[in-house]
Amino acid sequence: MRDKLLQVLEDTADAYVSGQQISRKLGISRTAVWKHIEELRKNGYEIEAAPRKGYRLTHTPNRVSADEIKARLHTNTFGQRLFYKEEVTSTQEEAHELAGKHEPEGTVVAADKQVKGKGRLDRPWLSTPGTGLWFSIILRPDIRPQYAPQLTLLAAVAVTEGISSATGLDPCIKWPNDILLNGKKTAGILTEMQSDPDRVQAVIIGIGLNINHETDDFPPDLQSKATSLALENNGAAFHRADITASVLKSMEQWYETYLTEGFASIRRRWEELAVTIGTRVRAVSRSKTVEGYAEGITEDGVLLLKQSDGTIEKIYSADID
Ligand code: BT5
C-alpha cells in the first residue's frame, strides 16, 4: 500500500494531492492515508501537509544525484568534483580512468548500481541499486607505495566516524577494512593504486556503504554476515546522500591530519575503534592460518599477532575470524 501511495504522490510531482483523492484512489480511509504518510516520513520521505490542499512529496530518500550529495557537502575538495552515475561496472574502474586523465585529488565517482562491484582479491561486492552507495575517491598523496595500506586504515576510521556522526549508530572496525554493526558488515573499503616504483601516482579508495537494505536485499549466504544502517536502526531508512556527505567530510578531515601529522593519530584512533585489537583472532590467508592475540598494528598497517610462545607474527593480508 505504501508503494501505491508513493506512486500517487510521485505522479502528482510538485502539486498537492488531497487526502480525499488519495483515499478514493487507493480505496482506504483518510485515517489510513494519514497513517501511511507517517510511515513514509519515518522512512525519510519528506511530505508537506497543507490545510485544504492535501499532501505534497518534497523529498524522496532513495533518490540520489550529484546535486543531492553536493547540497549536503561540507568539504573543501573531497567530492566537490563529483561524477554521479546510475550504473557503472565498478566505480573503481571509472576512478582509475579519471585518475589517468589527471583528475585532481578529492575527485569522487559515485553510483547507484555496480554491475561488477569488486572487493579485495577479486571477490564480488554486491551493489544493489536503490539501497546503498558505492563510490571511489582519488587521492594523490606524496608517499612511497608501501605506505598506501595506511590509507585503507584511514578510510576505515573515516567511514566509521562518518557513519556515526550522520546516524548516531556505533560501528566498529574489523581489520583491515570491514565496518561492522552488531558483528555484521555494513561497509567495505578497497584500496588500489597507480604507482611508479618509488612514488604513488594515485590511490583510489573504494567505499561500499550498505544503507537502506532490508534483509531480503541480501542473498541468503550474505544475510548472516551483512547488514545495513537501516536494518540496525529498526528499519528506518537514511538519506543516502547524507551518509555519503558525512563520510566524505570525515575522509577529508582525516586525510588532512594524515598529510600534516602523519599516521600516528590515525593508528591510535583505528586501534580504539577496532574490535580486532585486544582479542584472540584467527587470520586466514591463502598460504596459511595463524592464531594469536591481536596486539595492534604497525606504522604501515600490518596486524601484529602474538603467539603462545611469545613470538609476534606479522599479518599483511588475511581474513580475520
Ligand atoms: C571489501 O572487500 O569489503 C571491499 C568492498 C569495496 C566495495 C566498493 S563499492 C565502491 C568501489 N567500487 C568497487 O567496485 N568496489 C568498491 P572484501 O573484504 O574482499 O569483502 C568482500 C566480501 O564481502 C564478499 O566476498 C562477500 O562475502 C561480502 N560482501 C559482498 N557484498 C557485500 C555487501 N554489499 N555487504 C556486505 N558484505 C558483502
- Does 178 lie in the same domain as 304? no
Verify that 72 and 183 share a domain, yes or no. yes
Give the pLDDT band (50/70/90) at residue 116.
very high
Rounded distance between C-alpha atoms, residue 209 and residue 227, angstroms = 10
Q: How many CB atoms lie within 10 A of CB 292?
A: 19
Q: Ligand 1 test: best mutation among 84, 89, 125, most atoms within 8 Å of CB?
A: 125
Q: By the 8 A CB rule, do 56 and 50 touch? A: yes
The verdict on 47 and 84 lying in the same domain is no
80, 224: one domain:
yes
* Residue span of the structural domain in which 46 resides: 2-59
pLDDT attached to residue 72: 87
What is the pTM assigned to this prediction? 0.85
Query: Do 178 and 128 fall into the same domain?
Result: yes
The predicted structure's pLDDT at residue 10: 80
CATH of the domain at 124: 3.30.930.10
- When divided into structural domains, the chain yields a total of 3
**Residue corresponding to grid cell 595492534:** 296
Say whether both 20 and 101 belong to one domain.
Answer: no
Is the confidence at residue 63, as pLDDT, over 80? no
Whether the bond into 176 is cis, omega within 30 of 0: yes
**Predicted ipTM?**
0.99
Q: What is the DSSP letter of 17?
A: B
- Same structural domain, 11 and 160: no
Instruction: Identify the three-state secondary structure at position 5.
Output: helix
pLDDT per position as a tens digit, 223-252: 999 999 999 999 999 989 999 999 999 999
Q: pLDDT (tens digit, 9 = 90+) per residue, 1-58?
A: 777 888 888 888 778 999 999 999 999 999 999 999 998 888 778 899 999 999 999 8
Which residues in 183-196 are b (16+ Cβ under 10 Å) and which e?
ebbbbbbbbbbebe
Decide if pLDDT at 61 tops 80.
Answer: no
Cβ of 135 less than 6 Å from ligand 1: yes
303 shares a domain with 237: no
Q: Which residues contact 226 (CB under 8 A, 6 or more apart)?
A: 126, 184, 185, 186, 210, 213, 218
Does the annotation flag 249 for ligand binding?
no
**In 3D, which of 109, 111, 112 has the Cα closest to residue 101?**
109
- What the block records as the C-alpha cell of 89 is 561496472
Closest-CA residue to 160 (of 171, 150, 149): 171
Of 248, 206, 239, nearest to 81 by C-alpha is 248
**Cell for 124?**
564480488
198 — phi, psi (to 5°)? -120, 5
Residue 258, ligand 1, Cβ within 6 A:
no
The answer on 99 and 223 residing in a single domain is yes
Measured N-to-C along each axis, helices 2-11 and 30-42 cross at an angle, to the nearest 10 degrees, of 90
Which range (60-74, 91-105, 185-199, 293-307) has the least confidence? 60-74
Domain with residue 287: its CATH number is: 2.30.30.100
The share of the chain scoring above pLDDT 90, in percent, equals 80
In short, whether 120's Cβ falls inside 6 Å of ligand 1 is yes
For 205, other C-beta atoms within 10 Å of its C-beta total: 26
Amino acid at 28: I
CB count within 10 Å of CB 59 equals 12
Kindly state whether residues 141 and 235 are assigned to the same domain.
yes
Between 136 and 8, the more confident residue is 136
| Count of beta carbons in the 10 Å neighbourhood of residue 134 | 29
185 CA to middle of ligand 1, Å?
9
Partnered with residue 267 across adjacent β-strands are none
Write out the DSSP string of 150-183.
Answer: HHHHHHHHHHHHHHHHHH----EEETTTEEEETT
What is the Cα–Cα distance from 259 to 266, expressed in whole angstroms?
11
Ligand 1: centre distance to CA 50 (Å): 44
Q: What angle do CA 133, 135, 136 make, to 5 degrees?
A: 165
One domain, residues 22 and 129: no
**Mean predicted lDDT score pLDDT of the chain:** 93
Which ligand 1 atom is nearest residue 121's CA? 19
Instruction: Write the pLDDT tens digit of every residue in 70-115.
Output: 888 999 999 999 999 999 999 999 999 999 999 999 999 999 999 9
Q: Which of 15, 41, 59 is the last residue of a domain?
A: 59
Domain shared by 49 and 78, yes or no: no
Q: Indicate whether residue 185 lines ligand 1 (CB < 6 A).
A: yes
Q: How many residues does the chain have?
A: 321
Q: Measure the CA–CA gap between 186 and 167, rounded to whole angstroms.
A: 13
